[in-house]
Structure 1
Amino acid sequence: MQQLRGREGARVRRTYREHARRTKVTWTHRDYDPENFAGSDPINQALSAAHVCLYGIVHAVIVALGAAPGLGFIHTGHERSFVYDIADLYKAEISIPVAFDVVARGSADVPADTRRAVRDRLFELNLLDRCAADIRRLLLPDSAGQQEGHAFSEDVVNLWDESGAEMPSGINYADEYEVDF
């Protein structure tokens, strides 16, 4: 795990350097204080804004799929550990290049322009569908989304039954089962 973290850290640092070179934005290191957003330089503000947007989208996808945001495999000990794990899959492609591009353009409003640029990039890459497919592939036994002979469909919701059978939702079963309250 320590090797994985070390390699991931090196990959991200290399990604920051590459985008700094590409955009000619001055880059020293990732530096931010969550309590003082305005105290950061423009590139660190843009990175923070871009990453937060990405976290929000990934969180929404995780919850929509019924997964636990705190599940965490790489990140642990936080209620959004799984969000950070999944978001890390997309930072080098989405939030990091967007942040450097916004700062390179000389934006007058770095946070707002970064949020809009991330929104556009997410739409361009169809991230919602892609993220949902990636999470299913990570959590389900095979990439087709099959689990113990059951097909996964986001359009079908079933109810659990103690017999082990799935029962269709959206039906009032009160008449079939005599229940007194």
Structure 2
Amino acid sequence: MASVSQRRTSSPRELTRAGDRLSFIYLERCTIHRDANAITAEDADGTTHIPSATIGTLLLGPGTRVTHQAMSVLGECGAGVVWVGEHGVRFYAGGRALTRSSALVEAQATKWANRRTRLDVARAMYKMRFPDEDPAGLNRQELLGREGQRVKDFYRKEAARVGIPWHGRQYVPGDFTAGDSLNQGITAAAQCMYGIAQAVTAALGCAPGLGFIHSGHELSFVLDIADLYKTEIGIPVAFEVAAEDPEEVGARTRRALRDRVNETQLLDRCVTDIKKLLLPDTDLPGDATDRVTLQADRGLEVDSGRNYGDGVVW
């Protein structure tokens, strides 16, 4: 892994952009401090300056230490901070969102609150996973039934592809060792996908509990997003790793998935797909200026910071 000073200036890995500000920067194995209005990333090979105003969200990977002054300037410039595993495959904690706009989470809540639009988003998610099939007109029972059969078929297809026996999905919540080595690899891959989806969800300011397929859990929307890439990325990696060697399949699957995430630019896709599902053909506000309005009747919004006690009519 290249050190901070060996990478190009600011070492950015941009996931998406709304205007010129909203980008992700991933750092690992360094100390993060403040120098004037910039943050610095220091390791044994030197120091890299990163203008804080360019940062949408800072992803802090393993081995990072961050000072109070660095967090202060990040807060002043409206940057978010997310603590993650290597390349975002695990989610530990998050600060403020990538954007000061509530547009994305409001769109999510609006679509979720209406039973018809909630089903529309569920159908769109199914279409993303299985583009060869049109889910229009399917109810939820039909969607779940078809998804279940497609995944079962995919397990058998992957087993044939890598040349190993498949005896069905075996998973006991809370007991990672309950299944065979292949099932342990599938579970490890799923957990990594959840971490990736949660990191992106937190950075975009979405509500993790408002799911369109999953429900009743604080991470329902995270599970929805992670499942979009289950058959394309997560399951194939687990089967390939298990076919190579059944030993330590969990740890090896996590490392292999980390590399596959980089190769496929999965974080970019997560951001793009969430915006496509919730706010298609719409750019999030790209400036760092707070825009606060007050809700009025008939869906209108009026300026905040103004007293409406004198019978002002709009």
User: C-alpha distance in 2, partners of 1:67/1:112?
Assistant: 30
Give 2:242's match in structure 1, choosing from 82, 85, 103: 103
Q: 1:42 to 1:4 in 2, by over 3 A?
A: same
Q: Give the deviation of 1:77 after TM superposition.
A: 0.9
2:176 maps to 1:44? no
The TM-score with structure 1 as length reference comes to 0.82
Could you give the per-residue CA deviations for residues 64-97 of structure 1, whole angstroms, max 9, x where no partner exists? Answer: 1111111111111111111111111100111100
1:82 equivalent among 200, 221, 237? 221
Q: Would the alpha carbon gap of residues 96 and 55 (structure 1) be closer, same or farther in structure 2, given more than 3 Å must change?
A: same
Structure 1 runs (4+) greater than 2 angstroms displaced: 153-159, 161-166
Aligned partner of 2:250: which letter?
P
> Where do residues 22-171 of structure 1 align in structure 2 (5 Å cutoff)?
22-140=161-279, 142=280, 144-145=281-282, 151-153=283-285, 156=288, 158-162=290-294, 164=302
Query: 2: CA distance between counterparts of 1:35 and 1:2?
Result: 27
The alpha-carbon distance between structure 1 residues 121 and 89, as it changes in their structure 2 partners (threshold 3 A), is same
Cα distance in 2 for partners of 1:49, 1:38 equals: 11
- Contact 1:31 / 1:40 at 8 angstroms: preserved in 2? yes
C-alpha distance after superposition, 1:11-70 (max 9, x if no partner): 111111100000112111111112321221001100000000001000111111111111
1:119-170, CA deviations, whole angstroms, 9 ceiling, x for partnerless residues?
Answer: 1111111011110010001011x2x32xxxxx4146646331336459xxxx
* Maintained 8 Å contact 1:62/1:69: yes
Q: Percent identical across equivalent pairs?
A: 52
Contact persistence 1:102–1:114 (CA under 8 A): yes
Give me the whole-angstrom Cα distance separating, in 2, the residues matched to 1:77 and 1:105: 38
CA, structure 1 residues 90+155, in 2 after alignment: closer, same or farther (shift >3 Å)? farther
AA at the equivalent of 2:235: I
Residue identity matched to 2:257: V
TM-score by length of 2: 0.48
- Count residues in correspondence: 160
In structure 2, the residue corresponding to 1:79 is in which secondary structure? coil
Structure 2: runs of 5 or more not aligned = 1-139, 295-300, 305-314
Match of 2:143 in 1: 4
Larger strand percent? 2
Distance 1:37 1:86, change over 3 A: same
